[in-house]
Homo-oligomer: A and B are copies of this chain.
Amino acid sequence: MFQLLKQDKNTKARRGTITTEHGVIQSPFFMPVGTNATVKSLLLEHLLEFNAQIVLSNTYHLFLRPGMDVIEAAGGLHQFMNWERPILTDSGGYQVFSLTQFRKIKDDGVQFKSHIDGSTHFFTPERVIDIQCILGSDMMMPLDVCAPYPCSLKEAKNSVEKTTEWAKRSKDHFVRQDVRAPKQFLFGIIQGAIYKDLRERSTEEILDVNMDAYAIGGVSVGEPVEEMFKTLDWVLPKLPKDKPRYFMGIGLPDQIVKAVGEGVDMFDTCIPTRYGRHASAFTAKGKIIIRNQEFAKDFFPLDPDCDCMVCRKYTRSYLRHLMHSNELTGLTLISYHNVYFYVNLMRKIRAAIEEDRYEKFQMDFLKKYGSELI
């Protein structure tokens, strides 16, 4: 699955490839989030235009709507959404555990109420694998128990134990699937909240299950950024070099640059599209809020350092006007730029690692961006 091509000389950054049924992915990489089988405000054509390598979608959401019968009839998620490149699907664990009032963890799974119509459903580790087999995901996440922030030691311990137990059941069920394509991969998810001992324990237990790749979950749930990066210190040294490492739901551009330097390979976040819908655009010099008066007659592109379609064609003044006029076109254009910004950042990151200059790249980026992570 994973081939480590290059280890940067001065940092822990790595350059590799992941080979799937739907193509080879160059790592480190960013996955645009397509929860409902589309990346919000964008067309899939846009993702091809700037060569996004993969999209992430969500088991929980697709299970509830349009439902597995529709996706099965379409021939799987790739066909349903007309996306021929790789897809990673989240297990829905995070979503289900966010429904604090509407879910009940039981020994063999979790019962929850749909956020759409209140109907009751039951996810077991096995069922979540079955659903992802129907989706035809290239990379699957197992059902896990995501602890909130803040959470007690006891709560975090329960989450680790349940996650390990369910990881084993997921793996057992996964290897029994005759139907799965030869290159579907199952990840292990490491929990443990902000507790060093628990993170280390979870890492060891999940490594024992022997998964195709490893993800750090239960991060970016409201904890301070320093806490988030501590989990990398605790977990990454224990992970094997020959398997991909995924920092789930991270993060802002400077956080990604920092995490790559620690040895992370995979990222996803809805930040570029969510910020786009709220008129915030990423630039090499940090975030700008395009609604502001200062941009009324600013005829420069969103990011003068960017060569995306939006920056080549449209001005801050025009985009500000679209946002003030509540034109959906504005959301699409700013989201386009933001997702491009992420995808292109990963391209630059890969080039820097290849040329053994990641340390300088990271420092230059963080300085120019005005990051507090220096």
Measured CB to CB, the residues of A under 8 A from B are 36-45, 61, 65-66, 69-70, 73-74, 80-82, 296-297, 299, 309, 313-315, 317-318, 320-322, 324-325, 327-333
Q: Are A45 and B325 in contact (CB under 8 A)?
A: no
A69 to B318, CA, bound (A): 13
A82 to B333, CA, bound (A): 13
**Neighbour of A66 across the interface among B38, B44, B296, B329, CB < 8 A:** B296
A331 to B38, CA, bound (A): 12
**Which residues on B sit within 8 Å (CB–CB) of A81?**
318
Q: Are B43 and A332 in contact (CB under 8 A)?
A: yes
CB<8 Å pairs between A and B, sample of 29: A36-B327, A37-B321, A38-B322, A38-B329, A38-B330, A39-B329, A40-B327, A40-B328, A41-B329, A43-B333, A44-B313, A45-B313, A61-B325, A65-B324, A65-B325, A66-B320, A66-B321, A70-B296, A73-B299, A73-B317, A74-B299, A74-B315, A80-B317, A80-B318, A81-B318, A82-B314, A82-B318, A328-B328, A328-B332
**Which residues on B sit within 8 Å (CB–CB) of A70?**
296-297, 317, 321
User: Which partner residue on chain B sits nearest A296 by CB separation?
Assistant: B70
Majority secondary structure, A binding face? helix
